[in-house]
Structure 1
Amino acid sequence: MRNIILLFVSMLTVAVYGQNFQGKATYKTHRNMDIKVSSGDNAPNSDIQKKLHERMKKMFQKTYTLAFNKSVSTYTQNKELEPEVNSGGVQIMMFGNGGGNDVLYKDVLHKEYINKTEISGKRFLIEDTLPETPWEMTSETKKIGNYTCYKATRSREEEQRSFTMTDGEQEESTKTVTITTEAWYTPQIPVSNGPGMYWGLPGLILEIHEGKQTIVCTEIVLNPSEKIEIKKPRKGKKVSQEKFDKIMEEKTEEMMERFKNNRKTKGNGESISIEIRG
């Protein structure tokens, strides 16, 4: 009798997650912020610094939708009211982030992706191979909504560059850091996919912790009555990820140079600008 029950469950799973299987998952992002503002006579007062912290925090609180089937997906930012980013002489510049116009298309079957994004109004299509960083599987579990999730981790080394501006003089430093990622996935939704560039586990990834960033799934709809169309983004200049990274680096340096020149021209009364690379 037990074998018959197991066979029935197996056949039911095949029926539910067959070729026409589709779904949508909503994710919310959050990032802990450490903001350091230079001290001195021209530094923002504590009230302005507090407002700056809150607004930067809100800038990283986004909502995304992952539309998926067994092999492909699109990941897009939901339309939301953008928070104010300029107050009290403190300006925040978002750079390298197309926001609600970005589309990340992943094909986990053929291990490739297309990322449509914008820099300074110019549209790019980044076409490349999905990075494969091995996951370390564990037996640790927890519930996320109605789904039983398993924990997996991985780590990689990454070179990080930082820029600081003191009295109009730019200082740059580079260091190698170890990035650890903690993922929670559910085999109850057997697709090797997840938010952003996360993938490669035997189930949909519902939660990510990486550095100071957290991504959590808040809603899942499986096989909706209205068919989901998952289309490749088409319009934009085609580049590899390596080429796009070089373009981003050049644009960042141009922006820092402009900021440096503005500081020298306007003197100590110039507002403080904080650059955030998306």
Structure 2
Amino acid sequence: MKNKIILMLFFLITIKNFAQIISGKITYKVTKEYNTESESYKFFKSQNPDCFYDELADEISYEMQFSNKQYLFYAVIDNLSNIRCADKILTVLGTMNPDDFNLFNEDTFYRYMHHLGSHLIISKKPYEWIITEETKTIQNFTCYKAYFIETIDLGDEVKTNTHIVWFTPDLPFSYGPGNYYGLPGVILEANNMGGKYTYGASKIELNIENPKLENNIKKLKEISKEITLEEYMKM
């Protein structure tokens, strides 16, 4: 009941602010915590030694272009000193590779990827977020903490992964970095406790023109086969 009341308050704030902000671009930086003693870290580093360097996360940023109806989230690798590491970002940081995109269009969230020779856009349902009253300030915006506990069935055992995000109702759109969306405000920080990485907003530009946004989303949808996440997991 308490969570429903909080959601209603955010909804009212969103309605109030909706007419004031119609577009923008948010730049995110990624920080990563490594468990250098883990077997997975040692294995991946042995396979990709040139890409496990401290500055890799600093050289990569992510951008989210958005309007009041859609958004596109993607990696920016212009400053990558070792371009051969571009397709290793998922392995090293746990975040999206440059060839992948997240997009929101017609009230549906999609993940675009090139998989086994096919262009796919995979529809995905939002997490079942739990919103708290805890707040902090990010880039001069008051943000609220929300979290979701993901259950992962590994066959012989079940693990959980807690996803923690901070969103602001002052930017009244259900968008966010990576696979995070579905809250009554833009997510400015997202932490994957299982992967130990964090997306953090480093620059926010509001009411700017994103002339290629609609065309880019249209092109991705035109060249891709649309499937559900459940269908993708069976491939």
- CA displacement 1:227-272 (0-9 Å, x = unmatched): 463323132444432333344xxxxxxxxxxxxxxxxxxxxxxxxx
From the CA coordinates, give the structure whose radius of gyration is larger: 1
In the alignment, which residue of structure 2 is the partner of 1:255? none
**Residue 223 to residue 198, structure 1, CA distance change in 2 (3 Å):** same
Shift in Å, 1:58: 5.1
Percent identity of equivalent pairs: 25
Which stretch of the first structure deviates more once superposed, 210-219 or 227-236? 227-236
| Shift, 1:82, TM fit | 5.5
The code of the aligned residue for 2:109 comes to: Y
Q: Could you state the TM-score of these two structures normalised by the residue count of structure 2? A: 0.71
In structure 1, how many angstroms separate the alpha carbons of the residues matched to 2:18 and 2:201? 24
Counterpart residue identity of residue 127, structure 1: I
Paired residues in the alignment total 207
1:124 aligned onto 2:119: yes
Unaligned runs of 5+ in 2: 1-12
2:223 aligned partner: 235
Q: What residue is the counterpart of 1:136 in the other structure?
A: 130
Structure 1 equivalent of residue 170 of structure 2 = 188
Contact 2:102 2:111 in 1 (8 A): yes
Aligned partners of 1:94 and 1:216: how far apart in 2?
Answer: 17
**Does residue 103 of structure 1 match 2:95?**
no
CA shift in 2, pair 1:224/1:101, >3 Å:
same
The residue number in structure 2 matching 1:149 is 143
Query: How far apart, in 2, do the equivalents of 1:150 and 1:93 lie?
Result: 29
Task: Give 1:71's aligned residue.
Answer: 69
CA–CA separation in structure 2 for the residues paired with 1:125 and 1:35: 34
> Aligned partners of 1:57, 1:246: CA distance in 2, in Å?
36
1:61-113 per-residue CA deviation (whole Å, 9 max, x = no partner) reads 63111111223111111133253779xxxxx8967998322221123x62x23
Separation in structure 2 between the aligned mates of residue 98 and residue 209 of structure 1, nearest angstrom: 14
Partner residue, 1:55: 52
| Contact 1:55/1:83 (<8 A) preserved | no
* Structure 1 residues 86-143: Cα deviation after superposition (integer angstroms, max 9, x where no partner): 9xxxxx8967998322221123x62x233221246x2421332x32322222221111
Q: Which amino acid aligns with 1:138?
A: T
User: Gapped runs of 5+ residues in structure 1?
Assistant: 1-8, 87-91, 161-172, 248-278
Residue identity in the other structure for 1:141: T
Check 1:140–1:236 CA distance in 2 against 1; reply closer, same or farther (3 A cut). same
Please report the RMSD computed on the Cα atoms of aligned residues, expressed in angstroms: 3.8
